[in-house]
Amino acid sequence: MRVYSACFARLLPIVILIPCGCRVNNRPAIEKKPPLVRRGEAPGIPPSDSFPPPPKLPRVPARRERTFAAHADRLIFSPDGKCLLTGNKGRLTLWSASGEKRRSFGSAPNAPFFQGTGSLAFSQDGRLLATGGRRIQLRDGVTGRVLRSLYTPEEEEGDLRAAFSPDGRLLAGEVQDVFNELRVWRLPRGRLLRVRKAGSDPDSGLRLPVFSPDGRYLAAGQEETLHTEPQSSYLSVRLYDTRTWRVTRTFALEQTHGGFQSMVFSPDGKYLAATFTTWSTDTDLVLVDVRDGKRTNLAMAFPGDNLHFSPDGQWLATIVDVRGLWFWNLKKRRAEMLPLPDVGIRAFAFSPEGKLLAVARGDEKIQIWRLPD
């Protein structure tokens, strides 16, 4: 897979204003953008297929605190930052921040309900835990006991995501059924509150629900299938007002043969970051200003749900290179890097206060890093 340079100085930031009322075939127009800078196309950035040393980017001044053995395809910190929850093929394990194993729960290790690209989410008070993957389940946040299954597809196939509202009263999840729709449940009883569909085409759908930090909006990626040759999809982001559940804004992103990989709000709610696969099976990373729709194309990223803002909003982190994490310093407008051994990175997560970073490595180890103040 080709890897794009992450350095703001070498990128050509593209800002696209989405014209109000400008539509093509009943869809907002998408302006063509110049390609991102690829390795080998800019001075000092060698071709990606030669597997050279990573480009010399400023290093994130982080300090490694501890390493312990654990196989994880997904991980998150508890809301109080004292525990780390990991998931691997149906088995969930709770660890102390120091790496001591506290308990395991979930189904058998080879059970299919949880996949690495599924989701783990705690409610803000830590009382509830939502797990995604091949089904959406609501669990006790302390014991891990299943309280109820909110959705189980007949064939148990797919990659389902779920997200809590900031007040913990709602859970939004994607449903892959006859219509790939978005459902919202009222908690704690799990009563179905709203259903939203992308359209009448069963091949289209709404994906990756995520609430804004103030809970006012719910964003979802819309994948509208275009019956062209070759077949492609029109990707956009719908912004729902959680008071009326009506679409307030739509941000046009791309026409491609791929789909959404991940999406996340910035802590202040001003930006949406999203990754999606492109025509060449690469994964683009874009930043959208929710206030005016301005779009900045950052770089390439690895496929999967590996996109996180730091709690203070200073960094947008993603996996761009297998040898390290790339941090977009949004204040300094440059890319920084945290080099890691060439063993691959499966997942990572910031602690709630932003002082720690947990990284799940491909060699079945988890590293805890302390970030600068």
Stretch 8-25: mean pLDDT = 40
Residue 11 pLDDT grade (very low, low, confident, very high; cuts 50, 70, 90): very low
* Confidence at residue 5, expressed as pLDDT on a 0 to 100 scale: 38
Token output for 186: 């009222």
Mean pLDDT of 307-327: 86
Mean pLDDT of the chain: 79
Bigger pLDDT: 129 or 5? Answer: 129
Q: How confident is the model at residue 249 (pLDDT cuts 50, 70, 90)?
A: very high
Average pLDDT value for residue range 100-123:
68
Residue 187 has pLDDT above 90, yes or no: yes
Average pLDDT over residues 118-130: 92
94-98, 161-165, 282-286, 291-295: least confident range: 282-286
Residue 259: per-residue pLDDT? 83
Q: What is the mean pLDDT of residues 150-168?
A: 81
pLDDT for residue 16 is more than 50: no
Residue whose token pair is 């025509």: 279
**pLDDT the model gives residue 256:** 77
Asked whether 112 and 128 are in contact (CB, 8 A), the reply is: no
Task: Identify the CA nearest to 59 among candidates 325, 358, 373.
Answer: 325
Q: Which of 37, 63, 72, 23 is nearest to 298 (CA)?
A: 37
Higher pLDDT, 312 or 200: 312
Residue % of the chain over a pLDDT of 70? 75
| pLDDT for res 305 | 63
**Is the distance from CB of 290 to CB of 284 less than 8 angstroms?**
no
The rounded distance, in Å, linking the Cα atoms of 260 and 258 is: 7
Most distant CA pair in the chain, distance: 58
Weakest mean pLDDT among 62-71, 130-139, 236-245: 130-139
Across 10-24, 323-337, 354-368, least confident range? 10-24
pLDDT digits (tens, 9 = 90+) for 188-204: 999 999 999 876 666 67
How much of the chain exceeds pLDDT 90, in percent?
41
d(C-alpha 56, C-alpha 60), whole Å: 12
Instruction: Confirm if 352 and 80 have CB atoms less than 8 A apart.
Output: yes
297 and 38 Cβ atoms separated by less than 8 Å: no
pLDDT of residue 281: 60
DSSP string, 207-256: EEEEE-TTSSEEEEEEEEEE--SS-EEEEEEEEEETTT--EEEEEEEEEE
Q: Where are the domains of the chain?
A: 57-117+305-373
pLDDT of 40 strictly over 70? no
Q: Is the distance from CB of 268 to CB of 291 less than 8 angstroms?
A: no
pLDDT for the residue numbered 337: 87
Over 50: is that where the pLDDT of 113 sits? Answer: no
Tell me what pLDDT residue 86 has: 93
The pair of three-digit structure tokens given for residue 80, joined into one six-digit string? 């109080």
Dihedrals phi, psi of 99, to nearest 5 degrees: 95, 10
| pLDDT given for residue 46 in this prediction | 29
Band of residue 133 on the pLDDT scale cut at 50, 70, 90: confident
Does the pLDDT of residue 37 top 60, yes or no? no
Nearest CA among 269, 284, 259, 277 for reference residue 218: 269
Instruction: Report the distance separating Cα 261 and Cα 277, nearest Å.
Output: 7
